[in-house]
Structure 1
Amino acid sequence: MATRGVLRAVSVVLVLSLLLLNGLPQQAFAATRAADIIALNGLSSEWSPSLNLNWAGDPCLNSWTGVSCDSTNTTVIALNLDGYNLRGQLPPDIGGLTNLQTLELSANDGLTGNLPKELGNLLNLQVLSLQWCNFTGTLPVELGNLIQLTFFGVNGNRMTGQIPPVLGNLQNVTWFDLSINQFSGPLPVSTDPTSGGVGLDNMTAVMHFHFNNNSFSGQIPGEIFSLPNLIHLIFDHNKFTGNIPTAVGNSPKLEIIRMDFNQLSDVMPSELTTVATLTDVNLRSNQLSGAVPDFSGLTKLQALDIGYNSFDPHVFPSWAQNGTFSQLMTLSMPNTSIIGSLPDAVFRLPAINTLDVRSNQINGSLDFTGPVSETLTTIVLDDNQISGFSGQPLLQNGGNIDINISLYDNPICQNRYLQPRLAGCDRFAQDRFQAAKGNCTNRCGSKTLNPKSCICATPLSLNLMLTAPSMAYFTNEDATVLEKELAEDITNSSTSIDKASLKPDQIYIQNAFTTTDMRISLTILVFPVTGDSLEQGERNAIVHIIRQHKFDISYGPYNLPEDTFRVLKKGVTLTTVAIVFIGLGGGIALLLCIGITLYAIRERRNTILALDPFANWVAGSDDKNGRRPELKRARPFSLTELKEATNNWSQVLGEGGYGKVYRGTLKNGELVAIKKANKDSMQGLNEFRNELELLSRVHHRNLVDLVGFCYKSSEQCLVYEFMSNGTLRERLYEKVETPLSWETRLDIIINAARGLAYLHDHASPPIIHGDIKSANILLNHKMVAKVADFGLGKVTALDGESIDYSDEIKGTMGYLDPEYVQTQIHTDKSDVFSFGVVMVEALTGKSPTHGGKDRTREIRNAFDTEGLAGVRSLMDPFIQGSIPDHELHLYLMAALRCTEAFGEGRPTMTEVVKELESLANGGGLASGGISIRMHGENKSPDVYSDTASLVNTSTSTSSEKGKDGHGNAFHYSGAYGVLRRLGSRS
């Protein structure tokens, strides 16, 4: 501190010396008051040598960069250094600028440390903008003195602690933003005995409360809903608990409410549906329960998201089909326990753009025989029970409409006769924005082309974040509207200090995508009308206007997380003293260059890793060829993301030879299972790479879906869809709460067989799983079985020879193909043998080696000697009396054929699927599907029946050759279905 005092004293002397050396009469008598000069030089000494500004001479008379003075040029009233790469702390000297009205230091990520309490001395301050820096510590209570404040923004820092109740004294603040920090604790209100009679509910002028992405906890206080001017309440991604206060109905002007990704529980209050001013409601990913209320009274609603809660099962609500929702653009109800069919009336809502009802129990067919809304672009139906659709989406005038319909993990997509495969059967790709290309032919080299005016220039690049958008996905039409709106609003918001005049063709939205926390990120380029770049003053004005929210765009509240804005340097006339100090600073500059170089190297490495997560792939001892993974589709995660998702690896689901499996919740609310390798795992990079490559290539309803991965030399993680009902092994005999019925077991076996048949006969090239067992058959929330764990999988040849030669036996004892053990030749029939063991396991409810016996051989011997009676004595007692003899006989014969001693005597998995489907349906197909053929340019579909009658089957019983004790004593002819076209309509 003593050193800093000496530096400040020296800086004052230097300033006075500079004034004398310059020799100008006007500088001999400084216009700016001495207290302001001392304060500014205190800032300069703290931020030096990072400060790269024109701060020479008198601050007001010489127009110091970022410094604005009053009309008399004697008092500093604004300090605007947005994005100037400042480094260091905000020193107490700032308190000396007692007439300051605007303090704008945003987008300086080198600013660190605590906020000084001396900020409380700035009693004339109206704008406090410290956004997107790296400040830490708590909010000083002295900030409660700034009663003239209208704008308060400290978002995007690393600040901690609770909100001081005295901030409730800021009764003139309209914009109050604490988002994206590490604040915690309850929200202070005046009725709390510990708050001294003051709290957030005293901020009567406030219009915007932005508290998202923190760790606020406790009950949301009802008092804040009575604030007379509150329009935006952004509380998402916190730890709020309890119910939504009924006082929400007291809100006189509330338009947007985001409480998603919290821990709110209980029934949603009906009072919420009486706030007629609401346009956007987002309550996603909480623990809300009970009935879904009737939202039909919210006629101004533009976006409603109540997904991923625990509501009672209900049919698709009638109010969601109501034409009075004339402005509703986004209706999002994923995982909300919807049952029954999806009414076609919802497709005709006047403004509907996106309908997201994934992960429900919607069944039946989609009806597109009637017209749909011309605004409809996206229907997401993933993970439902849709079995078909009729008609094709047409506008009311009969014209075609381009709708992205996603049907991933629906019965309609598992029909192997579907040709061509529906594009909607792949996992939903949510971001489809493509920037306008224009008709320009010129090339710009190192500069950037403006496709609207065809000029080459260096634009101002801004990253704008829409924090509560009404649309789920940004479109090209939205870009056109927002470009025009930004140009007009920036021009109209210009002042004598912030001068900016723009036209729509100067603004170009280059990129747009939906983030994991349900926001929309935009990359916006602002081009000059002529010349290489915008003038320094105009660049500064544009960022200043946007940063301080001097206008409200119709797309809702926004943020400016970061920008590439840097002010061009002006020429500076050097004095003798300055030249001396440049020499002294040379050594410091050299050290800075070294530091910057090292930093650039690190950043380049991080950039490379972001583009190529395997740039540092290091082969382990088990990795024979050191080849990096080759992926078709997989999302990379950072280790930090997965650590946060699993609450620091605290939610263990299970453990195996590879490592532990953790339950995780991604930022978008998606539940996942994360398999994290042990550092001393017997399995290694070969298995990690193998599973990653195979799962990134295959997509099927009965294969566990790979969400993504994390690779970091010493850490390997695989991220899968979450399967809430665990493994078949657990449900059979390890964690039995309610024993599985025979019908459920048969359905699980059929679905697992379908997944395996897809690998063998429909994947290109075919895949041998290599480790089929009940522990690798997982069950989702609907008890749908999916095959998992591809660590030992092998890609096979396309010439029909599905053979893999191994130099060591891999797999699990009890499931191993005896032919493979003898020859070390792994074929697709090895998977068939293992699957037959699983079929026996489902029948007995015991492990294949229970009691030291080979259960499969025991079943075979019992059947040979005692027939079905002998088999029943070995079965799980819970299902002994529920299987008719003929069903048991057919099932048993299929299992025994799979476990023949030699592969040539075993069926293919496709044959097994057909036999099991025939068994489950008493001679018909177990579950239906549709077949769609696309015709002509309009690709209007022929529609086939979606019921079991799709298949015409004839069943033949098995023919026995005698029970002579030999394993291959029986011949069985399964029943096969023949696809029959029932009719078509276009």
Structure 2
Amino acid sequence: MLFLFLLFLLSVPPATLSLNQEGLYLQSLKHSLDDPDAALSAWNESDDTPCKWPGVTCDAGSNSVSSLDLSNTNLAGPFPSLLCRLPNLTSISFFNNSMNSTIPSDLSTCSNLQHLDLSQNLLTGALPRTLADLPNLVYLDLTGNNFSGHIPDTFGRFQKLEVLSLVYNLLDGTIPAFLGNISTLKMLNLSYNPFFPGGIPPELGNLTNLEVLWLTDCNLVGEIPDSLGRLKKLKDLDLAVNELHGSIPRSLTGLTSVFQIELYNNSLSGSFPPGMSNLTALRLIDASMNDLSGPIPDELCRLPLESLNLYENRFEGSLPESIADSPGLYELRLFRNQLTGELPRNLGRHSPLKWLDISNNQFSGELPASLCEKGALEELLVIYNQFSGPLPESLGECQSLTRVRVGYNRFSGEVPAGFWGLPHVYLLELIENSFSGQIAKTIAGASNLSLLIVSRNNFSGPIPEEIGWLENLVGFLGNDNNLSGSLPESIVNLELLGNLDLHNNQLSGELPSGIKSWKKLNELNLANNEFSGKIPEMIGSLSVLNYLDLSKNRFSGKIPTGLQNLKLNQLNLSYNQLSGELPPMFAKQMYENSFLGNPGLCGDLEGLCDGKGEAKNKGYIWLLRTIFVLAALVFIVGMVWFYMKYRSFKQAKRAIDKSKWTLMSFHKLGFSEHEILDCLDEDNLIGSGSSGKVYKVVLTNGEVVAVKRLWGGVKKECESGEVEKGHVRDNVFDAEVDTLGKIRHKNIVKLWCCCTTRDCKLLVYEYMPNGSLGDLLHSSKSGLLDWPTRYKIALDAAEGLSYLHHDCVPAIVHRDVKSNNILLDGEFGARVSDFGLAKVIDSTGKGPKSMSVIAGSCGYIAPEYAYTLRVNEKSDIYSFGVVILELVTGRLPVDPEFGEKDLVKWVCTTLDQKGVDHVIDAKLDSCYKEEIYKLLNIGLLCTSPLPINRPAMRRVVKLLQEVGPETQSKTIKKDGKLSPYYYEDASDHGSVA
């Protein structure tokens, strides 16, 4: 026996024998986790104690492990409950890892634990009821996981808890009243959870030690309870992005310690309550995007505010002079109200004003000269007001300015010379005022200028040569002025130029040589000037140019044949002095108005040439036409004979089988199954896939339908880019019928009926003449999808998915959202289609179901799907985010060019390494850049790796609509086309730029 024991000792490595018991526990932890970055490689078994290991802290007296911090180490695996065997452990942090599974219930045995941070992981399941049994727990942060279900009623029993953060999870139910029993709480953060609609529990007013209360986007309804006024220690109150209504309770004026109040994006009404002057500690208040009204209280403006955001309400009257006395005011956003009068004369004199946005009001008078007195002003946004007079000379010395929008006012006089050359300004917009004088040579100093918009003013004189020094200039809009002289030769140095619009001026001379350097030029509009000479052949090499207007000038000579290489949406060379033959590619109906008023120009379009030589060729043309007509008649007679023979043969063949078909209709039909069956010929085939074939059927009443023909069998793995194993055609058919048979929505494809027989099943849909988004976007026809069309498609598809997720009872998850399953009608309206993989979400509200296999299409599958197999709406939102990235980039979701990356990873990597311009599809008009950036942001938000960070589909629709009105109804029209540089809403929240 002794011999065996000695043999055992010799077989155990000496290093293992030297490590104490706590070290052995931590070694077990190391081996239980996936550590791809070798973050635990320094945990050496040969050490006596783990106290010097990275992430491990020991108590100085007992030399026992007291803290474990493994934040940001990319660890994965289940939470290791063996940590509770460390007797003196008081703090655990696994912040920002990939810990998965659930929190074990025996975590309650960590009796000394005071600090537990498991935020930003992949933990799932219900919140453990036993967490409240940790007698010493002070700090609990479970932010950014996938916890679901209700907040357990045991959470009202915490004895010492001061911080409770459950942000960005999948919690439902309503915010429970028993949380008001945790009298020790100093911070309560439940933001961004899909709670059921419910009010703010009045019991939260019992948390008299509370300093931070965040309930952002918690589906709150009802009024703000008066009891919150009892939270005398509260410093930060955030109730934003809910559906709260009613007035702001007067009790809130008793929060004498409050530093920040966030009430934005609710439905609050009425005016501010009296007593706001009691909030002497208040530095920031944001009550924007409500329905508040009345004057802005003078007592509010007398507070030592740093940030005041009251935009998108119905405030009226003038701005109190007292606002100028706030010594720390750096942000003032009041746009989209009904404010009148002049700005306080001392605004900016006593405070480091940084952001000023008062657009879309009725302010008048001159701008105060003190706005930039502290040298901090970065954004000056005053568009759509009634300001007048000159710009203050002091603004020409405001070196901190980055963004200036003073358009749509009544400013006049010359722009200060220094204003043109501010070194950090990237957007300078002076549109639609009465400015005069010249564009100063000092513009050479505006090295960061990207957009120069001076349209519709009284500027005169030549465009300075120094304009060509602005190497970052993307857009130069100077139309409708009195500019004269020739274009400076240096302008060809602007290699990033995407939009040059100088129409309606008095410019003259020839176009400069070297314009082939404008490789990114998308729009060139020089109409209604006095330019002369020949149109440069080099214009034909500008590959992304799609808008060219040189009309009403004095250009002469021939039209360059190279223009035929361009993919132009608009071409106008009318009313010049052009001559010679029209290039053959332009002899089309779409160009019938592009060449009018050029007497010497000849071609096959009506209105060109004077008819010389016409008689000479008349006889020859008549002979050709006669031969052509005879040949066409012979061909048509032969085809009719063949068709009649073929049809009689097919009808005879099908006569036996028609009686075996069963028809199930979902709408009132004007056709029978026999009419459908007669048209299922290969001549009518328009598509084929792994589940069957799709036919275009023209009915006798003139209506067109699409018929999908399914048959039995099993789908092969990853066939046609799909990755669901063993999916039987019967399941596809049943899912399609069950889903579409009950749905009525303008953005869901309509299922007219289904026809079944023993061996074959037919689904009859409305016909979409423009096919699928994927086929169109990734083909040579992608030029048809300009930016407004792509935006409309994104919004239509989002509304369809939002209907499935939020308006269907029970909710429906599509599970195969992709560009090929978004169909386009004749007006490019989008319909979501192909519900063969759709699943109904558990109507009990107990969370998402787990599937036995992965369903979806390569490149569109959410990352968590692969390891959780959990089906919920967040999976669809990820896939839709990929579709948005396709629309923005024009690229496939999976491409060999990406290597091992998919589109999402490629976009993120390219943004980091090269910048946003390398991501956007070069076919898109650069004048839509701001909208494109916003849509790109929404796509990135939808494809967030953590499901909880993805917005609900209803929220996605709202985000898209916030982009949409700016690009459509709020866009200024000029010369019959949209000019989307100009927005009524001056705030560009969340721009990637």
In which range does the TM-score fall when normalised by the shorter chain? 0.3 to 0.5
Under a length normalisation based on structure 1, what TM-score does the superposition of the two structures give? 0.43
Structure with bigger RCO (C-alpha 8 Å, 6+ apart):
1
